[in-house]
Chain A
Amino acid sequence: MSTIESTNAAVLPAGTWQLDPVHSQVGFAVKYMVGTFRGSFSPVAATLSVADGRASLTGEAKAENVKVQEPSLISHLLSPDFFDAERTPDLRFRSTDVRVDGDRIAVDGELEIKGVTKPVTLTGDVGEQITDPYGRERIGITLAGTIDRTEFGINWNNPLPSGKSALANEVTLDAELYLVKE
């Protein structure tokens, strides 16, 4: 595996790039009992700014826009047991450093969930810039990382008869970002 160089946004095309919310996907996955429980946020907003060889990435979503397969779970997810959406409606990400090496990208940043901000590192791939059929410049970035939900005050659990917990603390974040140049 190659070493990721320090800031080298030269390989990211300059400009301001906005998230295409229709095709992008920002999801999470967490081990629950015998499998993996998945959800996503939709819509989300994100902006990639590349200028003078430096890049920054910001993103935000509303807790109330959490999506899961069974809608009846959403009331619980928005309650104080999870996102406490009434008191802390916003989820935010702001990069502090973006590093690119070839088609690999690593983004250090600060993630805010439930009013708690913690550092996180996301890694993934950068695709080739293309022109879409309608003449807009597009670039795709995937990012993934893990967080400990309890560090953000999301502590809900349910004990199994074995004494173990039903829901894991480690949550995988997974983003498929379609970015369109302004």
Chain B
Amino acid sequence: MKILGVSGSLRADSHNTALLRCAARHLPEGVELEVWDGLRDIPPYDEDDDVDPAPQAVAAFRAALAGADAVLFSTPEYNSSIPGQLKNALDWASRPHATNVLRNLPVAVVGASTGAFGAVWAQAELRKVLAAAGARVVDGEVILGHAHRKLDGDGVLLDDEARAQLVEVISALADAVEARAAVAA
């Protein structure tokens, strides 16, 4: 089972990317997590460019989503919402609507911030966007406030409760993938 990790932050030392690396250390057997690093390359969405073939970076993102069994998003919060570049990438991914690669794809959302609130509003916004695109948004969240004190550079989560929540989210994601496979069988 392959989970794609998508961080909403471009920063090299991003806490959200670190949270995904942490998730990769706590996977059930048979599950792998690959952190996608193409967010920076996605061009601004322009319907004039939304043609076949898609811009290379967009095609690569769509292929990465299509090749994954599930996606784990980790998002920071900018001005009470999700980063513009993450929204922009999802706008590309959601097209064309009728056949977009997010439809029915199990997804989960976690988030980290250096403030107290752990990107909780951004997480809610991201779930809304993903649901509107047709993804299966699984329950469960990690609201990691004060992330700079709870994550070390190697992706080790020092907060026991947050780590347990993260394990639970990954488990829910894996369950949704298995339920989907059962429907298809």
Contact present for B97 and A71 (CB under 8 Å): yes
User: Which of A29-37, A54-62, A73-81 forms contacts with chain B?
Assistant: A73-81
Contact present for B183 and A75 (CB under 8 Å): no
Interface of chain B residues 98 through 138 with chain A (CB within 8 A): 98, 100, 102-104, 131-137
Contact present for A79 and B136 (CB under 8 Å): yes
Residues of A within 8 A of B (CB): 71-72, 74-76, 78-81, 86-87
List 5 extra interface pairs beyond A75-B102, A75-B133, A78-B104, CB under 8 A.
A72-B97, A74-B97, A74-B98, A80-B131, A86-B104
Other-chain contact of A86, B94, B131, B183 (Cβ < 8 Å):
B183
Contact present for A79 and B134 (CB under 8 Å): yes
Contact present for A75 and B137 (CB under 8 Å): no
Q: Which of A72, A75, A80, A81 counts the most B-chain CB atoms under 10 A from its CB?
A: A75
Other-chain contact of B180, A71, A72, A86 (Cβ < 8 Å):
A86
Contact present for B179 and A78 (CB under 8 Å): no
Closest Cβ of chain B to A42, distance in Å, is 15
CB neighbours of B133 from chain A (8 A): 75-76
Q: Which of B100, B134, B137, B183 counts the most A-chain CB atoms under 10 A from its CB?
A: B134
Closest Cβ of chain A to B27, distance in Å, is 24
CB neighbours of A74 from chain B (8 A): 97-98
CB neighbours of B179 from chain A (8 A): 87
Check A75/B97 contact, CB under 8 A, given A80-B136, A81-B131.
yes
Check A80/B137 contact, CB under 8 A, given A75-B103, A75-B132, A87-B179.
yes
Contact present for B136 and A71 (CB under 8 Å): no
Closest to B128 in A: A158
Tell me the complex Cα distance, A81–B183, Å: 18
CB neighbours of B103 from chain A (8 A): 75, 78-79
CB neighbours of B137 from chain A (8 A): 80
Contact present for A75 and B94 (CB under 8 Å): yes
Tell me the complex Cα distance, A86–B180, Å: 8
